[in-house]
Chains A and B, each alone.
Chain A
Amino acid sequence: KAGVTQTPRYLIKTRGQQVTLSCSPISGHRSVSWYQQTPGQGLQFLFEYFSETQRNKGNFPGRFSGRQFSNSRSEMNVSTLELGDSALYLCASGSGRQETQYFGPGTRLLVL
C-alpha cells in the first residue's frame, strides 16, 4: 500500500509570489490535514479536508487556502508569500474516524 506523497519536496520562492503544494493520501483515506512546522512555532494545524469539504481550520491568515478533490488528493495554496512562510509543510492522511494518521515526507518551502 503506497504511503502519503507530497510534491514538490523542495521549493524556493520570493516574497510576493504564490505557491501550490500537493498531497496524495493513502488509498482509501478521505481525510487530509495540513500542518506548518517552524523552529519558533513548532507544528501548527492549518486545515483539514474530508470528502472535499473543509472540516476544520487553524489560525492562519486568509493567504493560506486549500482544497480537496474527488480522489481525496489535496492542494494548499499560499498567496503573497512572506519571509515568515518559510517552513516545512506536512500533510497527514486519515480515515476520518479519528484513527491513526500518517504523514507525508513534507515540502520544504524557502521564501527569499
Chain B
Amino acid sequence: GIQVEQSPPDLILQEGANSTLRCNFSDSVNNLQWFHQNPWGQLINLFYIPSGTKQNGRLSATTVATERYSLLYISSSQTTDSGVYFCAVQTQGGSEKLVFGKGTKLTVNP
C-alpha cells in the first residue's frame, strides 16, 4: 500500500518563528488533508488540498501531486500551535479511507 512519510518527526520553536512541515507519499493520490491534533486528541481540519496552494491566516499549504509531496507552512507561530500535525491521503476510488503519516510533533515555547 501507499507510504506516507512526514518530516521532521519533532520540531521545537520559539514563539514567532516560522516552520515548514513536509509530507511525502509513495504513489498518486486522489486527495490529501492536513490535520492538527489538539491535546485532547481531536483531529482538526486544516486543509483539504489534493493539489495547488491554499492559505488560511498564518497557515498555508502546497501540494505538488506530480512530485508526490505536500508542505504545510506555519508563520509567526504561537504556543497554541503546539500539537501533532498529520498528513493523510486518499488513494482508492469509491472509498473515504485515509492513510496517515506518523505526524510531526510541534512544540512552540513562549
**A, B in one complex:** yes
Residues of A participating in the B interface, judged by any CB pair closer than 8 Å: 31, 33, 35, 37, 42-43, 45, 48, 50, 55-56, 58, 88, 90, 92, 94, 96, 98-106, 108
- CB-CB under 8 A from B52, the residues of chain A are none
- Minimum CB–CB distance for B95 against chain A, Å: 4
A105–B94 contact, CB under 8 A? Answer: no
Give the contacting residue for B45; candidates A55, A56, A102; CB below 8 A. A102
* Residues of A contacting B: mostly: strand
- Minimum CB–CB distance for B54 against chain A, Å: 12
A100–B45 contact, CB under 8 A? Answer: yes
Distance A111 CA – B94 CA, assembled complex (angstroms) = 34
Please give me the residue from chain B that is nearest to A103 by CB atom. B43
- The yes or no answer to B110 lying at the interface (CB within 8 A) is no
- CB-CB under 8 A from B43, the residues of chain A are 90, 103
Give the B interface residue count (CB, 8 A): 25
Give the contacting residue for A56; candidates B42, B44, B95, B102; CB below 8 A. B95
Known: A48-B95, A98-B30, A99-B48. A42 touches B102 (CB 8 A): yes
- The yes or no answer to B58 lying at the interface (CB within 8 A) is no
Residues of B participating in the A interface, judged by any CB pair closer than 8 Å: 30-31, 33, 35, 40-45, 48, 86, 88, 90, 92-100, 102-103
- CB-CB under 8 A from B93, the residues of chain A are 98
B96–A100 contact, CB under 8 A? Answer: no
A103–B96 contact, CB under 8 A? Answer: no
B33–A101 contact, CB under 8 A? Answer: yes
A-B contact pairs, 17 of them (CB 8 A): A31-B96, A42-B100, A45-B99, A48-B96, A48-B97, A55-B96, A90-B41, A98-B30, A98-B31, A98-B96, A101-B33, A101-B98, A103-B44, A103-B45, A105-B41, A106-B41, A106-B42
B96–A96 contact, CB under 8 A? Answer: yes
B103–A45 contact, CB under 8 A? Answer: no
A104–B42 contact, CB under 8 A? Answer: yes
